[in-house]
Structure 1
Amino acid sequence: LALGGGALSGLSGTLDLVDVDGLIEGIAAGDAAGSSMAAPGDVDGDGVDDVLVGAQGVDGYAGAAYLLHGGGL
């Protein structure tokens, strides 16, 4: 999932996407974060649409989904 032009590494926990300028690869290399994306609407009820990012390579291809809160995008 590319955001901006730099490169980021070692990310963990909560990330404010307003401050991001780089690449989010997922928890581990090969997670394929951004391999799928969806717009589920306003999941957290803050009045701003959120983004769902899939990572098909997580946990032996069991996959994972990350919810990015739209208020910080």
Structure 2
Amino acid sequence: MREQCTEIWYCEQNDELRVERLIARHVRFGKTPVAAAKWVQEVDEPNGRVIRTTRKRADLIITLEEVAAV
């Protein structure tokens, strides 16, 4: 990836919020809530663990925080 990009950014977010949003996205695209939660645990989370190992090599780390709606 490094040779194809000028910069590598790593975005991190609260784990609970990330999982909640992943489940909601899968539901929006047609999975049942149970199927969506299973997919997140069996597919998205293992992928996330692999990606987390690359954090130290990022040029910039962005921490995503929830902004309250006014």
TM-score interval, normalised by the smaller of the two chains: under 0.3
TM-score by length of 1: 0.25
Structure whose alpha-carbon radius of gyration is higher: 2
Point out which structure has higher relative CO (alpha carbons under 8 A, 6+ apart): 2
The TM-score normalised by the length of structure 2 is 0.25
Q: Which has the higher helix share?
A: 2
Flag the structure with higher strand content. 1
